[in-house]
Amino acid sequence: MIDLMSAYSKRVLILIFSISLFNYIDRQILYAVFPLVKKDLVLSDTELGFLASAFMVIYMCAAPFIAYFGDRRARPVLIGLSAIFWSIATGFSGLVKNYSQLLFARSAVGIGEAGYGTISPSYLAEWFPLEKRARVMAVYALGIPVGSAIGYILGGVLGQSFGWRNAFLIVAVPGALLGTAVMFLKESGENRSAVHRFPLKDYLVLLKNKTFLLTSFSQAIATFSIGGLAAWMPSYFVRNFEVSVARAGLIFGGVTVVAGVLGNFIGGWTADWLRKKNIRGYFIVGYLSFFISVPFGVLCVLSADFHEAILFLFIAEVFVFAHSGPYHAAIVEVTPSNMRSMAFAMDIFIIHAFGDAVSPVIIGYLSDLYGLKFAVFVCILFVVLGGVTSIFAGREYVRRMRDESEG
* pLDDT tens readout for residues 250-289: 888 788 878 888 998 899 889 889 988 888 889 999 999 9
**pLDDT band with cut points at 50, 70 and 90 for residue 407:** low
Would you place residue 3 in the very low, low, confident or very high pLDDT band (cuts 50, 70, 90)? Answer: very low
Mean pLDDT computed over 123-129: 83
Q: How far apart are CA 44 and CA 32, in angstroms?
A: 16
Q: Is 40 helix (H, G, I), strand (E, B) or coil?
A: helix
- The total domain count for the chain is 1
Identify the pLDDT of residue 199.
55
CB atoms within 10 A of CB 39: 11
305 backbone φψ class: left, alpha, beta (φ>0; ψ -120 to 50): beta
- Lowest-confidence pick of 24-33, 249-258, 317-326: 249-258
- pLDDT level of residue 205 (50, 70, 90 thresholds): confident
355 band by pLDDT with thresholds 50, 70 and 90: confident
pLDDT at 202: 64
Amino acid 197: pLDDT: 52
The CA-atom distances, in angstroms, between 190 and each of 1, 183, 193, 228 are: 9, 18, 5, 37
Q: Residue 95 is which amino acid?
A: L
CA nearest to 333, candidates 391, 291, 393, 289: 393
Average pLDDT of the segment spanning 302-324: 92
Lowest-pLDDT range of 152-156, 168-172, 341-345, 366-370 = 341-345
Which pLDDT does position 188 carry in this prediction? 72
Contacts of 4 (CB under 8 A, 6+ apart): none
What is the maximal distance between C-alpha atoms in the chain? 63
Query: 354: closest CA among 83, 60, 85, 155?
Result: 60
What is the predicted pLDDT for the residue at 190?
Answer: 58
Q: What is the CATH number of the domain that holds 253?
A: 1.20.1250.20
**Torsion of the alpha carbons at 304, 305, 310 and 315, rounded to the nearest 10:** -70
pLDDT over 90 at 166, yes or no: yes
pLDDT digits (tens, 9 = 90+) for 37-83: 998 999 888 898 888 888 888 887 887 777 766 656 678 888 999 99
Domain that holds residue 276: 3-406
Determine what percent of the chain is predicted with pLDDT higher than 70.
92
Which of these, 272, 269, 215, 211, lies nearest to 402 by C-alpha position? 211
pLDDT of residue 374: 94
The CB density around residue 38, as the number of other CB atoms within 10 Å, is: 15
Question: C-alpha distances in angstroms, 123 versus 143, 215, 338?
Answer: 16, 20, 11
Taking all residues of the chain, what is their mean pLDDT, rounded to a whole number? 85
Predicted confidence band of residue 140 (pLDDT cuts 50, 70, 90): confident
Q: What is the dihedral of CA 220, 222, 228, 233, to 10 degrees?
A: -160
For the cut 60, the answer to whether the pLDDT of residue 196 exceeds it is no
- Mean pLDDT across the stretch 165-187? 91
Alpha-carbon gap, residue 249 to 263, rounded angstroms:
20
Region 114-132: mean pLDDT is 81
**73: three-class secondary structure by DSSP:** coil
pLDDT digits (tens, 9 = 90+) for 215-224: 999 999 998 9
Q: What is the pLDDT of residue 195?
A: 42
